[in-house]
Amino acid sequence: MTQLQYKGTGSANGGTGSRYWKDKTGYLGVLPFLLFSGVFLLYPTWNVVSGAFKDNYGKFSTATLSEVFNSSIARHAFANSLEISVKTAIFGAILGSLFAWAMSTGKPGGVFYKISVALSSVLAQFGGVMLTFAFLATFGFNGFVSTLAVKFLPNSFLAESAWLYGKTGLTVLYTFFQIPLMVLVFLPTLENLKPQWREASDALGGKAYEYWLRIGIPVLTPSFVGGALLLFVNSFSAYATAATLISLSDFLTPLEIATALTSETGGSNPAEAKVLSLFMVIVVVIAMALYALMRKRVSKWEQKR
Amino acid sequence: MKFSKLTSGSVAAALVVALAIPVISASSASATSKTNYSKVTSASQGGGMTALANACKKEGQLNVIALPHYWANYGDMITGFAKQYDVKIDEADPEGSSQQEIDAAVTNKGTNRSPDVFDIGLAVAVKYLGTGTFAPYKVKSWSYLQGAAAVSSTGEVTPNYTGTMTIGYSGALGTITKLNDLLDPKFKGKIALNGDPLGSSAAMNGIFMINKALGGTFDDVTKGVAFFKKLKDAGNFILVNPTQSTIESGQTPVVIDNGYLQANVVKQFAAAGQVWKLFTPASVGSTYNMAISAWAPHPACARLWMEYTLGETGANVFASGGATPTLWVHLVKTGRASADGIASIGKSKVVAEAATAAQTAAARVYLKTAWPEAVGTN
């Protein structure tokens, strides 16, 4: 009886029922992503944030938090991290957007264009041990270029490799992967600059500088700033490149975290690592919030294609 | 164990280990035999070596962690054990640190992927003594192992080998006969230390070694730090973390590191027709320790691994890899030291002097500010 009833009502409701599910099945596709980010992003973040308020035995405590906050060594490392990230974000954003601009003026789909995009995608991921090694083998004291420079250009900076082994070197290394990332992020926006806008500006008597001042730059700015923020976060969280180039635990915050997790010499302190991570999370959250704000403005232009 | 060979992997690996979703709960493998090996504290208590070997064969697997093959000849050790007892060896996180070994055991507690045995530095070993992390077990050779009773009289952890610190360098640079040779301009940008003393025990012991050569003690490392400052000011010391690739390509032609890592480089250089020389200004070492995890999913294999690595066979494997096994003095005395091992580490009956965990901790506190001041970059 129940079954019959179900069948009877089923035919009448069938349409709306299946449509209801059809609407919802759209969300099924995103489920793996939500699951993935939940397990590998949200849960670990929660772990770090809640762990920052606990001691190493799991009890609530703000001792480590205030200890780290007041430590001049930790502050110095944090300042170093911020400084390098800001610098490489600015250098990367400026150079990257110029390269992207050069590429956008080329023939879309041309060989040069294709190669540049492919190269950018690869180089944007080229970091860590390999990058450090590449630079050491080229510009290090015993590197290829330096050895040649000592012979032929003894007074140039190429012959004196000391710059590579500190903050300057690290800034150069980071910028090396920041530029291609900026190219990838910025290129689509440049391609959204419609030639018609330029034509309209010209037709109305606008000069080249007026076009850039009133149309070009206002349209590109949100995208540029958004890209720079992305680069900032990218470099802020970079670890392996620095770890192989500079063996100093308290030089950058990510290196400090690694030492707090793995110290062989009695310095292991997971609570400290979590507190340091919390401070990094705060910075990244701020940067990402600004990024989201910028994206909103970018998409305003992109939708008006 | 090996913080020294730190790569991008380290932090990522820590994360992965931390996140590792516990697979299947450990099938209590020992249930198949009559003895519950997880409580057994000696081979005889478990019914002798044959019974132990059989029980391990039934378990079929041993989980090891943080044992790079180039480290103290662990490559040969692992293949040798797997072959002799016909068991599979699961090797996790070869580049992990001592701390990560313990963390992995705690995180994966109760699963069959939790590590069975640890190979850990003294500082971490002492930290976890008496916390229920280790299963006490005394190997048959226990009373002949140097320093075993001093570390843990119940056999919670057992010292297995000592690495003597040394300065390895490319033969192309001539011959180093005294420490001050390193200040020569020809070493500009060439001298690297394996890591940072706050994190790496190899780096800490490197400072101890130089310090001792200059007349310093384990309680006061100021002389060692002052020498590194001189090296840095001369532009000879670089902060690059040396790796196999930087050494092979000549980017770090002088490396201060453990002898059992350098032994491997000597072999590789010889194979390439080059020379890698060693200079040891003072004998300073650090001892690693073997321990069984209290949560070992394969308790019989864990105990068998202890017997193997700490016994005669294992000792000779360590020795030919440049590490001084704690059984070495006994083997030399009784004439059973292998020729290969003698060629590699000599017959020396004196085990290199090592800092205590307390001395290391005190030095670390001092170095936290003194080290960046001496060699840091702005």
Q: Which tens digit of pLDDT belongs to each residue from A18-42?
A: 566 666 777 788 889 999 999 999 9
Question: Region B2-27: what's the mean pLDDT?
Answer: 42
Is A128 within 8 Å of B8 when comparing Cβ atoms? yes
Q: Which of A34-38, B28-32, B44-48, B140-144 has the lowest mean pLDDT?
A: B28-32
Higher-pLDDT residue of A57 and A93 is A93
Is B251 within 8 Å of A142 when comparing Cβ atoms? yes
Query: Is some CB atom of chain A closer than 8 A to the CB atom of B123?
Result: yes
Is B19 within 8 Å of A40 when comparing Cβ atoms? yes
Residue A19: predicted pLDDT:
62
DSSP string, B40-55: --BTTTTTHHHHHHHH
> A252: helix, coil or strand?
coil
Question: Region A52-80: what's the mean pLDDT?
Answer: 91
Say whether pLDDT at B13 is over 60.
Answer: no
Say whether pLDDT at A283 is over 90.
Answer: yes
Cβ contacts of A237 on chain B, cutoff 8 Å: none
Q: Which helix (H) or strand (E) holds A186?
A: helix A167-192
Distances (CA, A) of B84 to A108, B51, B161: 64, 15, 21
Question: Region B227-242: what's the mean pLDDT?
Answer: 95
Say whether pLDDT at A252 is over 70.
Answer: yes
Per-residue confidence at A156, pLDDT binned at 50, 70, 90?
confident
Per-residue confidence at B123, pLDDT binned at 50, 70, 90?
confident
Per-residue confidence at B378, pLDDT binned at 50, 70, 90?
low
Query: Is some CB atom of chain B closer than 8 A to the CB atom of A268?
Result: yes
Residue A92: predicted pLDDT:
97
Chain A, 144 to 163: residues with Cβ < 8 Å from chain B are: 161-162
Residue listed under structure tokens 């299947």:
B24
Average pLDDT, chain A: 86
Q: For residue range B97-116, list pLDDT tens digits in order.
A: 899 999 999 999 999 999 99
Say whether pLDDT at B31 is over 60.
Answer: no
Say whether pLDDT at B333 is over 60.
Answer: yes
Question: Region A94-106: what's the mean pLDDT?
Answer: 91
Residue B222: predicted pLDDT:
97
Per-residue confidence at B75, pLDDT binned at 50, 70, 90?
very high
Closest by alpha carbon to A120, among A144, A103, A143?
A103
Query: Is some CB atom of chain B closer than 8 A to the CB atom of A137?
Result: yes
Q: Is the dihedral of CA B47, B50, B54, B56 positive or negative?
A: positive
Min distance B264 CA to chain A CA atoms (Å): 21
Is B372 within 8 Å of A257 when comparing Cβ atoms? no
Query: Is some CB atom of chain B closer than 8 A to the CB atom of A261?
Result: yes
> A266: helix, coil or strand?
coil
Q: For residue range A226-250, list pLDDT tens digits in order.
A: 999 999 999 999 999 999 999 999 9
Domain ranges of chain A: 71-303
Is A39 within 8 Å of B198 when comparing Cβ atoms? no
Residue B20: predicted pLDDT:
42
Higher-pLDDT residue of A299 and B217 is B217
Say whether pLDDT at B10 is over 90.
Answer: no
- Cα B199 versus chain centre, distance: 14
Say whether pLDDT at B297 is over 60.
Answer: yes
Per-residue confidence at A1, pLDDT binned at 50, 70, 90?
very low
CATH number of A71-303: 1.10.3720.10
Is B127 within 8 Å of A266 when comparing Cβ atoms? yes
A126 φψ region: left (φ > 0), alpha (ψ -120 to 50), beta (else): beta
Q: Which of A43, A140, A266 sits opposite B251 (nearest CB)?
A: A140
Question: Region A149-177: what's the mean pLDDT?
Answer: 88
Residue A21: predicted pLDDT:
63
Question: Region B17-28: what's the mean pLDDT?
Answer: 41
Is A162 within 8 Å of B190 when comparing Cβ atoms? no
Residue A180: predicted pLDDT:
95
Q: For residue range B182-222, list pLDDT tens digits in order.
A: 999 999 999 999 999 999 989 999 999 999 999 999 999 99
Q: Which of A91-105, A211-225, B131-145 has the lowest mean pLDDT?
A: A211-225
Minimal-distance CA residue of chain B relative to A139:
B251
Q: For residue range B259-283, list pLDDT tens digits in order.
A: 888 988 998 999 999 999 999 999 8
Q: Which of A16-25, A42-51, B321-330 has the lowest mean pLDDT?
A: A16-25
Average pLDDT, chain B: 88
Query: Is some CB atom of chain B closer than 8 A to the CB atom of A166?
Result: yes
Q: Which of B96, B253, B361 sits opposite A266 (nearest CB)?
A: B361
Q: Which of A243, A251, A261 sits opposite B99 (nearest CB)?
A: A261
Query: Is some CB atom of chain A closer than 8 A to the CB atom of B174?
Result: no
Cα angle for residues B124, B125, B128 (degrees, 5° grid): 85
Query: Is some CB atom of chain A closer than 8 A to the CB atom of B6?
Result: yes
Q: Which of A47, A239, A270 sits opposite B11 (nearest CB)?
A: A239
Question: Region B75-87: what's the mean pLDDT?
Answer: 95
Residue B6: predicted pLDDT:
39
Q: For residue range B156-188, list pLDDT tens digits in order.
A: 999 999 888 999 999 999 999 999 999 999 999
List, by residue range, all CATH 3.40.190.10 domains of chain B: 33-162+286-345, 165-284+355-375
Residue A14: predicted pLDDT:
45
Which stretches within chain B are classed as H helix?
9-19, 48-59, 74-85, 98-107, 122-127, 148-151, 201-213, 222-233, 244-248, 259-271, 299-310, 312-320, 328-333, 339-345, 357-375
Fold exhibited by the domain B33-162+286-345: D-Maltodextrin-Binding Protein; domain 2 (3.40.190)
Q: For residue range A181-201, list pLDDT tens digits in order.
A: 999 999 988 888 888 888 898
Q: Cβ distance B114 to B297 under 8 Å?
A: yes
Say whether pLDDT at A107 is over 90.
Answer: no
Whether ipTM > 0.85 holds is no
Cβ contacts of A265 on chain B, cutoff 8 Å: 121, 123, 197-201, 204, 360-361, 363-364
Fold exhibited by the domain B165-284+355-375: D-Maltodextrin-Binding Protein; domain 2 (3.40.190)
Query: Is some CB atom of chain A closer than 8 A to the CB atom of B235?
Result: yes
Minimal-distance CA residue of chain A relative to B364:
A265
Residue A20: predicted pLDDT:
64
Say whether pLDDT at B79 is over 90.
Answer: yes
Per-residue confidence at B351, pLDDT binned at 50, 70, 90?
low
Which residues have a Cβ under 8 Å from the Cβ of A280 and sit 6 or more positions away?
A: A81, A236, A237, A253, A254, A257
Say whether pLDDT at B130 is over 80.
Answer: yes
Chain B, 318 to 357: residues with Cβ < 8 Å from chain A are: 357
DSSP string, B148-171: HHHH-TT-SEEEEEEEEEEEEEEG
CA–CA separation, A305 and A216 (whole Å): 15
Per-residue confidence at A106, pLDDT binned at 50, 70, 90?
confident
Q: Which of A26-40, A115-129, B113-127, B336-350 has the lowest mean pLDDT?
A: B336-350
Is B377 within 8 Å of A251 when comparing Cβ atoms? yes
Residue A267: predicted pLDDT:
81
Min distance A148 CA to chain B CA atoms (Å): 15
The secondary structure of residue A163, as a DSSP letter, is G
